[in-house]
Each structure stands twice: as C-alpha cells, then as structure tokens.
Amino acid sequence: MLLKKTAIYLFTVMTVSVVSFSCSTEDPTAPTTTDDSVIDPADDDPDPDPDPEPADFVVTFGGSLEDSFSDILRATDGNYVLVGATKSMDGDIVDKETTDFDYWVLKVTPEGEKIWSKTYGGSGDDKAASISPTTDGGYIVSGYTSSNDGDVTGNGGFHDYWVVKLDVEGTLQWEQSFGFSGSDQAFQVIQTSDGGYFATGYLDVSASGGQGNDDRSGTRHGVGEFWGIRMDASGAFLWRRYFGGTNNDRSYDVVQTSDGGFLMMGASESDDFDITDSKGSYDYWAVRITESGDLLWTKSFGGSGIDVSYAIVPTSEGNYIAVGDARSNDGDVGNPKGNADVWIISFDDSGTLLWEKSLGGSQFETARSIAPAESGTFVIGGSTRSNDGDVSSKNGENDVWMITIDAAGNLLRQASAGGSSLDLGNGILYDNGMILVGSTESSDLDISENKGGIDGLLVKRIN
C-alpha cells in the first residue's frame, strides 16, 4: 500500500512560538463538515482534561503575499517536507520573480529549521495539493497548472492535472500535465507497488466533451467526475477513467488496495449513472476499481445534508477509515454535535459501513487529513470554530485542530492552535506527536509573526 497527502513555503528564518493545546478523553460519534470548520462537541464519555498542553512550536513561513501549505511528509532522513502554493517573491520565497501562484516545496528539520525551499511552475497559477514519498527517496507532487511555459511543458486548457517528480534535494526530474479545456485538478498522487503512479482528482467532463474515459462504453454526463490517471515510472500515462453522475463529483484522496487496485475517496452530489445509493445533497463517495481501472463497486455514506470526505487511510485489518465533515443529522450520521462536525467512518473492502463517529462542538469543524500513528491509533488534521463539546479552547475566528483517535474512532487527544483571525489546518503526520500544516491570517496569540496576508503554518505537538 502506498502513502499519501499535502503543503507550501520557502527560505527564511522560522518563527517559533508556544501555543496552548488542550486534551480530552472522549468517545465521539457522528458527521463532519467541510471548508473552514472542524468540531465535534459532546461525547459519550465526557471527561476532558482541564489542563491545556503546550505545543512544541508554531511556525509561520512565507512572504508579503499569499502562501499556504496543503500537505506534509516525513523524509527518509527524518526531516519534514511541506508542499503548497505561494504568490510571494520575498521573505522565505527566494527563487520566484512573478506574483502568480507556484508550487512551493519546503524542507525543514523536526525542530522547524529551514533546510531548503524551491518553487515550480510557469507564468499562470500553479497550486500543489499533495506530496507523497517515492522509493528512491524523492517525492511526487500533484495539483493543478494553468501555465504552458516555465517548468510546465504542456496545457490542454484552463486547469490541468500537473504531476511533478522531484529527487531528494528537490530537483525537478520530470513533470506531466493531463487535462482538457476545462478545470481539471489533481488532489492526490501516490507511487504504486510496481513503481508507477496514480493521480486522482476531478475532470470537468462537460468541457472535455466526454473525453478522458479510456475503454469505458456509454456516455457520461456531469459537471465534474472522479478522474483516475495511471502512469508508468516516467510519468507517461497508461490509462484514464472517470466516474460519477450528472452533478459535481470530486475525488480528494486515493489508496492502493492489497490486490493492486485502487480506492478513490471524495464526495458526490449526483444520484445517477455510477451513483446508485445517494443519501442526500452531498455524500462521502467511495469508488473501488481494479488495477486496470475497471469499476468494482461504488458506495455512498451520509445523510440528507452536505457531507464531504477529504482523506482516507487503510487499516491493519484490511479496512479503511475516511474523514471529512458532515452537516447531516440523519441517515448514516448517528450522533451529530453541531452545525458541521468532523465525521469519521470505517468500512470494509466491499464498502460495508463498520462504524461512524462525529467529533466537534456546536459550530463548524472539518477534517482534511488522516495518518497512522502508534499502536493502531490515527491522527487527524483540520479546523474548528467551536469552543465547546470536544473542543476545549478557541483563540479566534477559526483555529487549526489536531485529533488522535483509537482504532474504533474514539477520541484520545485533541489540540487547537491559532490567533484571532482565520487559521486552517490541512495535512498531518505522526512523528512522536502530531505535526500539522496549513495556513494562517493571524498575527497574535499563538501566531507570533505574520509575514504577509496569508502565511504557511507548521504546528508540532509532542506526545
């Protein structure tokens, strides 16, 4: 099985500040929401720890314009590699000469000290969404490009998938773009067991005129479709498949399955064509395919409201855990906490729902990432607007939220951090604690320095 997920920032001295975190020992259960919020108040076993735990550090990176991180991974040498996008040409960004968005990859030590930083792109906007490790010690990055110059050697339209292979030092080895005349965006890319790659995201199938679906019969209609692209070790495309219905369907994550196939995870607004069991407005939607791209099954999870999944991880038992946010209070969502909750579900390899949990408070929470931790536990990264329920403290408009759950989805630990403005959590990993990346507009409280309008954010909390 392969690893996954997302970030953005460059050369300059990092700012470290201590932040307050709070822990609780509760057993949450219900839906999650999307966008700027993450929470889940009450729990079946309410016994929060009244003593907040400090973060090891909170660091900002960026320049005078917009900079953010979407994903993070642990490199083979024990350091961290962050990925995202930047518009800045100053501050930590030292190799950029225009104010369009570029991919941004930053390597730091576990203590938050900068090692190197590099940008990639052309004269249009290029935004990275994910980064995954490769077996040669390098990295594979995905996102989208609107460029057709600079580092980008081809563009089929407005936005294309852009997949970039880097070596261990961040040197560009190869790049590939895939797309048609509309907005086609990749949210995740992984290396496959045979040394190739698989990218997932969405295809603007209306703009493509139905193109992009190799070896599938029948006409597909839709605004956006799950779009899976299989590549060889050099990035050359092997096959493409899209799945969905007449409305908006987007895949945000993918894992390779034990039989060599793939499980794409995201959300669907449709109730026709490949969607056979729609629950409501938007549902978590899982699409299971073979190693050659043939559809095995699809499965919807959710209620009558808006429920969107952003990340999935396999378990040691051969099942899966998916996270995102839910606004439903019915259907599969059994114990909602607020306006929108972090919703965690587990299902087996046939799509059967095993359990579900909601975490959050009375306002809005969302989960954007999940990663394995120690002893069968998992860490989840996202955001919160609440100050009650499962969320023990709040600094401002929106804080980043870090969660640890056990194998049954019970809340073991939680921590929030931020300033008085908008702070968003994206990618997370576990390395003797929770390490999260995102973005911040704050310049106070836990955020001791703001270098521009929006900065990339790195938060670390040791166990």
Q: Tell me the percentage of the chain whose pLDDT exceeds 70.
A: 87
Evaluate whether residue 5 is within a structural domain: no
pLDDT given at position 55: 54
Evaluate whether residue 10 is within a structural domain: no
Question: Of 38-52, 200-214, 413-427, which range is least confident?
Answer: 38-52
pLDDT at 15 > cutoff 70 = no
Q: What SS3 class is residue 207?
A: helix
pLDDT tens digits for range 296-309 = 999 999 999 999 99
The average pLDDT across 155-179 equals 97
Q: What's the CA gap between 165 and 151, in Å, rounded?
A: 12
pLDDT at 140 > cutoff 90 = yes
**DSSP track, 330-375:** STT-----SSBEEEEEEE-TT--EEEEEEE--SSBEEEEEEEE-ST
pLDDT at 11 > cutoff 80 = no
Sheet holding 433-440, edge to edge: 57-61, 455-462, 433-440, 423-430
pLDDT at 247 > cutoff 80 = yes
Please state the pTM of the whole predicted model: 0.88
The average pLDDT across 151-167 equals 97
Evaluate whether residue 7 is within a structural domain: no
Per the document, the length of the chain is: 463
pLDDT tens digits for range 393-421 = 899 999 999 999 999 999 999 999 999 99
pLDDT given at position 462: 82
Question: Of 24-28, 53-57, 363-367, which range is least confident?
Answer: 24-28
Residues 6 or more apart in contact with residue 425 via CB below 8 angstroms:
38, 368, 381, 382, 383, 400, 401, 402, 436, 437, 438, 457, 459
Q: What's the CA gap between 384 and 397, in Å, rounded?
A: 9
Q: Tell me the percentage of the chain whose pLDDT exceeds 90.
A: 83
Q: What's the CA gap between 398 and 388, in Å, rounded?
A: 14
Residue 442 belongs to domain spanning: 20-462
CATH number, position 80: 2.120.10.30
Evaluate whether residue 2 is within a structural domain: no
Q: What SS3 class is residue 386?
A: coil
pLDDT given at position 217: 59
Residue 277 corresponds to which tokens in the numbers above? 């069991």
- Asked whether 343 and 368 are in contact (CB, 8 A), the reply is no
Say which amino acid occupies 123: S
- Asked whether 59 and 9 are in contact (CB, 8 A), the reply is no
- Asked whether 12 and 108 are in contact (CB, 8 A), the reply is no
Evaluate whether residue 13 is within a structural domain: no
Evaluate whether residue 132 is within a structural domain: yes
Evaluate whether residue 202 is within a structural domain: yes
Q: What's the CA gap between 89 and 99, in Å, rounded?
A: 7
pLDDT tens digits for range 183-198 = 999 999 999 999 999 9
pLDDT given at position 222: 81
What is the domain count for the chain? 1
Evaluate whether residue 241 is within a structural domain: yes
The average pLDDT across 142-156 equals 97
pLDDT given at position 219: 62
